[in-house]
Chains A and B, each alone.
Chain A
C-alpha cells in the first residue's frame, strides 16, 4: 500500500545528517518539498546567510534522491533529475541561460544539439522542448537549482519573475532559488515556499568543529585532545564569533590559527591538557589579536618556509602599514617619493593655509604647524576630526607642483646626497614621475572636465584640466616621509 504522500528513505536522512550536523530540520523540509512522491512544489526559495550549508545540502540531497533506487516500489514512475547552476560562474544573463540549457540537456541525456539561447523566452522554449513536450512518466520531476541567483551579473529586471513562471509553463519543473536574503515580493508570485537556513548557534559551532579534532598533542591521548579542542572552540566562539566573525569558515580559520599558540604550553610541557583555565589565561593575549579576523592575502610565512612553527609562541605577525611605507620608500626613487608627499600635503591641507605653510617669505616661527604638543588646558568648542583621518581632497596639479617646489629645497637640504643641479619644476622628469605614480594608482585623477574650448570631450588622458587626489593613507605616508627624513605631521595644519 503506497499512499499519496511518501517520504524518501530514512537512510538518506541519517547519512546526510551525519555529513551536515545541526541541519536535520532543513534537510527534512527540503526533502519533502523536492521528493516527487512527497509534496513537490513548483518554486522554492532557500535562503540564509553565507556558509550555512544551503547549496551543499541541496546538492547532496538531490544527488541522493536522484540516485536512490526505488527498490521497494512497484512502479518506476517516480524519477527525479536535477541540474545545478551557480550564478557566480555566469558572466552575463545569456551565459546563465545557456548554462541552464546545457546542464539540463546533460542531466536528461538529451541528444539534439541545442540552439542558441539568448533571451528568457528562448530559455522557456528550450526547456519546454526538453521537459514538457518530450514524453515523460507521470511522476517525473526535474529540479533546477539556481545557486546564488541574487549575485547574477547584469541580470535584467524581468529575470526573477520569468524564472519563477517557468514552472507554471512546465508542470514537471521545480525551480529552487538559493539566495542570501530574499526581498519581499521576491518573485512576484504568491505562495512560494521559503526555507530558511538559520545561522549556527554556539552549540552548533562547537559540535561541528569538534567533529574534526586536530592531531593529538604530544603527551596526551586523542580523547584528551578532543576534549580540550571542544572547550577551546567554545572559548574562541565566545571571544570572537559573538562580536565579529559569525561564519563557520572564519571561525574555523581562527581556531586553526589559534590552536598552535594555545597549545604551545602543552607542547612545551609546562601545562597539561587538562588545565584549560590556565592555558586560557596564558593564551589570553592571542585572543585579542585582530589579525585573526582579517587574515590577509599572505599566508603565514612560517608555514611555507619552516616546518616547525608550532613550538613558537610568537605571532607570525603580518607586516604593519609602517613597514609598507618603508618598503614603498625603498622602491620609489627620490623624486616620486617627494612628489607623493607633496600630493599628500596638497590633498590634506586646506588651500587657504598654503601661504602660511609653504611661503618662504614668512618667518619659520610664524608657521602654525600642527602635530606639536596640543595645549591641554583649553578645549575647543567644536571638536574637529583631524584632517589626516578624513578622506583626501582633490587638488589641481599646479598647486601640488608649487608645494613640491617650495618644500623640495627644505627636504632635500636635510639629505646630503642632494644633487645641486636638479631639474627645474616642470621638466620631463617630473612628468615621468607623475605618470609613474598615476600608473601605480598612488595618485588618481578625479574629474577631467574639458578645457576652455567649446564642446570638448570629457575624461581625456591628455587633458590638463582635471584634478588629482592622493590615494594612499596616512600610515604609508608617514613611513614614506620618515624614509626620507621628513616628519610629515609637521606640515599638516590641524
Chain B
C-alpha cells in the first residue's frame, strides 16, 4: 500500500506546518500603512534568502538513521526510536496481509455463483444475451477487487476473454468498442489508427467488431471451441443510458458469431437499472442477480481478524472502535477507509507514543532500553495511579512505595507486564470466542468485543454487563447438551479467524473436565427420565409452573402451583446452575481500563482520527478567517485581534469576513468598501498625499479580499435583480451576498468625495468644474436632449488600481466620455496594466475579471473594458451597438433600481414570517 512508500520518503519541513503565509515578494503591498510608492522592480531570479538544505543531504541522513524523531523532547535514545519504527514495520504488514486475505475470501461465494451461471447459460439457447447483475453496493473499492478476481477466475476456468469497462474509460461507443477489442484480443493500444491485421489485406477500423471476430476465429481453429467474451460493466450506473443501449443492441446483433456475456456491477438495484434501459433493450437480456457479501459482514470479519485477533499488536480502544464502526454504518465509508483508519491508528501510536516501545517482546526489550524518561512517563499514567491506589487500599504499602520511588522496581514491574498483557488478551479472546459459539447472546462479535473492552464481561443477571443467566436457565435438556458440545468443540478447535489455537489442554481442569462431567450426568438423567416416561425439566423452565383450574361450588378457581419436580428434574436444575457457575468463571473478564499500563498497548483517542478522516473545511475556514492571529502569530495584531476582535492590521480577507458576518443577506459593495475603508484607513486622513496612497493600498487589499471570499464561496455576485433570500439556510452565517451595484470607487482626485455610496449621489447634474458661461452650457440649456447627453457623458468613473502596486493607469477614463474615446492601443495597454490581457494569478482577483483574447475588435474591447470597470450593460460583449442607452444611466436611476429591488426584497421577507 501507499504507506510503505510514505515511510521511505523523508518528510519535508513544510509538510506539517499549520499555516502558510503567502507573501508576494520581499515587499508586502497589502494592508500596510507604509505603502510603497514606487513599482517593485521586475521579478528576476535571485538567490533564495533562506535556501532549504539540499535534498541529497536529507536523503543521506535519512538513510543513515532510519529512526523516527526522538520523543521526550529529544531525550529519547536513537535505539528506542528505531525500535518503535521496527515495531510498526513488523506489525502492520502482517495485519494488512490478513485483511487482504479476508477481503478476497469474502467474494468467494459470489465468484462461484457467477462462474456457474455463465457456464450454465452457455448451454441454453434463449436467443438473448446472458447478463449477470452483481449487486455490489455502493462500495466502489470492493468492486475493483471483485472484478479483478472474476477476471482471474473466468479467464482460467472458462477460457473466456474478460473485458472490464469503467464509465470513465468508455465515454462513447467508439471508445468502448476500441477498449473491448483491445482487451479481448490482448493487443496493446499502441496503434490508434486502423488495426492492420487481416484477411485479404483489408484493414479493419479499430472499432470494428469484425476484427475481434476474425481474431477469435483464428484461435478457434487452434482450440476447437470459440472463446467467449465477457464484458463487465463495473459501475453500470455511471454509464450513459444511450451507450448501454447501443452496446447491448450491438452485442445482440453479433450474437451468432461472437459469444458475448455481460456482467453488470450494480450499486443500487436491478429494478433501478432496468428502469433506465429501454424496454426493447431490456428484452434482449437474460439475467440473474448475484449479491455480494455486504459491507457489514465484511467489516465483521475484518474486525475479527485484524482488530481483535491475536496477531494485532495494538489494541484499538473501545470508544475509537465504536466511532469507526458507527462511521461505517452511517456514512458511505467503505472498508478501505476503515483499513486506512486502522493503519493511521497504528502509525499514530508508534510514531507519537514513546511508551509504545513496551509493546516489543521480551527478546527486544530489556532494562537497558528503559530510560529514566520512560519510567517518569509511566508514573504519569492513569493506570499507574490506579495501580498505586489499589495497592494502598489493599494495604500493600511497600509495594506502593517502591512503585512510586524505586525506579528499578518499577522497571521490573513494567517488564513483567508484557506477559500479563498477553495473558489478558488471550483470556479475553477465548471468552469472546466461547460466547459467540455458545449462541446465548444475539449480539454481534463487534458489539461483544467493544463491550468487553469497555466494561468487561460479567454474565450474572443482576449486576453483570452482559446478563445471560435467564438465557442459560431456559435451556431444555437437549439444548443444554448441544451447548456443552458447542463449547467443547470451540475449546478444541479454537478460532483460526481470531488466530486462536485450541486450548483444550490449558483449560482441562477448570473447564473441559467439569463440562464433560456435566454432559455425562445430564445424558444419564435424560435417559433415566425417558425410561420413567416423564419429560426432563428444570425448576426454571416455564413448564414447571402450571395453572390449575378447579371447579368448587360452581366457581372456577385458578391456582398456580409448581408441578412436582422429580429427582431427575432437581438434578438437572443443579446441573444448569453448575454450568452457569463454570461459564461465569471462565467468561469473566475485566475491562481494558483495569489493566495496568493499558495505555501502552491500546489507542483510544478519537481526536487525531477525527481531524484526519472527517475534515470540516467550512468550519476550518470560518475559524481561520475569524481569528487569523491564532495561525499567523504575527506581532502586529497581538492586541485586540488575538482576542478575536477586528484590527486594521489583520489580513484584508479576515477584516472583510468580520464585516460580512455583521452584514445582512444582501450587502452593497460600496457600503462594504466604506466600512472597510473606515476600519483600515481611518475616517479622517492625516494628509492629502498619504491618505490617497494608503487608500489605494487598502483598495488593493479590498479587491483581493473580496475575490478570496468569492472564491471560498461566502459571497456571490448576483446578476439578477435581488431575488428573495433563501428561505432556509444551511449555515446561518453563510448567506449569499448580492452585489447589485457596481463598485464605485472613490475618486482620489476629489477630496470631498468621502462616501462613494450611491445612496448619496454626489454628482450634481452639472459638473461644477465647468464654467457656467461656456458655449455648450448655453446650448444645452436650450436643448434638453443635449443637456441629458452632456450630463451623461460627464459622469465620473472611479478609477481602478493595479493590484500589485496600487497605481492607476494614466489612460484610465475619468468620465464616461473618456471611456468612449479610448483608442485600441489604450485599451490594450489598460488591459495589460490591470493583468487582464495575459492571465496570471492576479487576473481573477479583480472585481470583474474579463477574458481578453487576441483579435478582438475595438468595440468588443471597449465592452470588455466596460464590464471590467463595472459599467452596467456590458455583460454581453456582442451587444448591438445601437442599444447603448443603458450606459448612460445616472446615479439616480441606479439608486432607484436598487431601492426597488430592496423593497421587493423587504416585501418577500415580510411575507415570510419569522425569517
Contact = CB atoms under 8 A, between A and B. Distances in A.
A442 B730 contact: no
Interface residues of B, number: 83
Contacts, number: 213
Contact of A423 (B117, B137, B282, B614): B614
Contact of B914 (A89, A361, A425): A361
Interface stretch (A138-146, A197-205, A450-458): A450-458
B618 A439 contact: no
A398 interface: yes
Contacts of B249: 88
A432 B849 contact: no
Contact of B728 (A92, A324, A354): A354
Contacts of A92: 174, 205, 207
Contacts of A394: none
Interface in B287-336: 287-289, 294, 326, 328-333
Interface string A207-229: 00000000000000000000000
Interface residues of A, number: 82
Interface in B134-182: 135, 137-138, 140, 173-174, 177
B885 interface: no
A99 B210 contact: yes
A299 B727 contact: no
A259 interface: no
B238 A405 contact: no
A401 B730 contact: yes
B710 to A, nearest CB: 6
Contact of A454 (B210, B277, B331, B849): B849
A440 B267 contact: yes
B496 interface: no
A334 B329 CA distance: 7
B271 interface: yes
A226 B213 CA distance: 41
Interface in A393-414: 396, 398-399, 401-403, 405-406
A355 B730 contact: no
B253 interface: yes
B877 to A, nearest CB: 9
Given A91-B173, A297-B131, A419-B326, A432 B138 contact: no
Given A324-B272, A403-B728, A95 B205 contact: yes
A86 B253 contact: yes
A69 interface: no
A494 to B, nearest CB: 19
B268 A331 contact: yes
Interface string A82-126: 000010110110110011001001100001011010000000000
Nearest to B850: A454
Interface string A412-429: 000001010011111111
B703 to A, nearest CB: 13
A334 B330 contact: yes
Contacts of A91: 173-174, 177, 205, 207-208
B83 interface: no
Contact of B614 (A98, A429, A433, A441): A429
Given A298-B287, A298-B288, A331-B268, A425 B731 contact: yes
A321 B274 CA distance: 11
Contacts of A319: 270-271
B729 to A, nearest CB: 6
B471 to A, nearest CB: 22
A181 to B, nearest CB: 16
A333 B237 contact: no
A191 interface: no
A427 B731 CA distance: 11
B476 interface: no
Contact of A324 (B253, B269, B287, B616): B269
B250 interface: yes
Given A333-B332, A453-B849, A89 B209 contact: yes
A34 B915 CA distance: 80
A427 B716 contact: no
B913 A355 contact: yes
A99 B204 CA distance: 9
A426 B616 contact: yes
A88 B253 contact: yes
B235 A296 contact: no
A226 to B, nearest CB: 22
Contacts of B177: 91
Contact of B271 (A98, A250, A321, A405): A321
B289 A298 contact: yes
A155 interface: no
Interface-centre pick from A334, A351, A428, A452 (highest chain B CB count, 10 A):
A452
Nearest to A103: B210
A370 interface: no
A255 to B, nearest CB: 15
Given A453-B849, A472-B272, A399 B728 contact: yes
A336 interface: yes
A429 B726 contact: no
A452 B710 contact: yes
13 contacts: A296-B274, A296-B282, A297-B285, A298-B133, A327-B268, A331-B135, A331-B138, A332-B332, A334-B329, A336-B331, A424-B616, A440-B138, A441-B237
Interface of B: 117, 120, 131, 133, 135, 137-138, 140, 173-174, 177, 200-203, 205, 207-210, 235, 237-238, 246, 249-250, 253-254, 267-277, 279, 282-283, 285-289, 294, 326, 328-333, 614-619, 710, 713, 716-719, 726-731, 844, 848-851, 867, 912-915
Ranked 6 nearest A-B pairs via Cβ: A113-B201, A402-B728, A452-B717, A324-B271, A401-B730, A427-B616
Given A89-B209, A427-B619, 15 more contacts: A92-B174, A98-B205, A99-B208, A116-B203, A249-B283, A297-B274, A298-B270, A301-B288, A328-B272, A333-B329, A333-B330, A426-B616, A426-B617, A454-B867, A476-B271
Interface of A: 86, 88-89, 91-92, 94-95, 98-99, 102, 105-106, 111, 113-114, 116, 153, 249-250, 294-299, 301, 304, 319, 321, 323-324, 327-328, 330-336, 351-352, 354-355, 358-359, 361-362, 396, 398-399, 401-403, 405-406, 417, 419, 422-429, 432-433, 436, 439-442, 451-455, 464, 472-473, 476
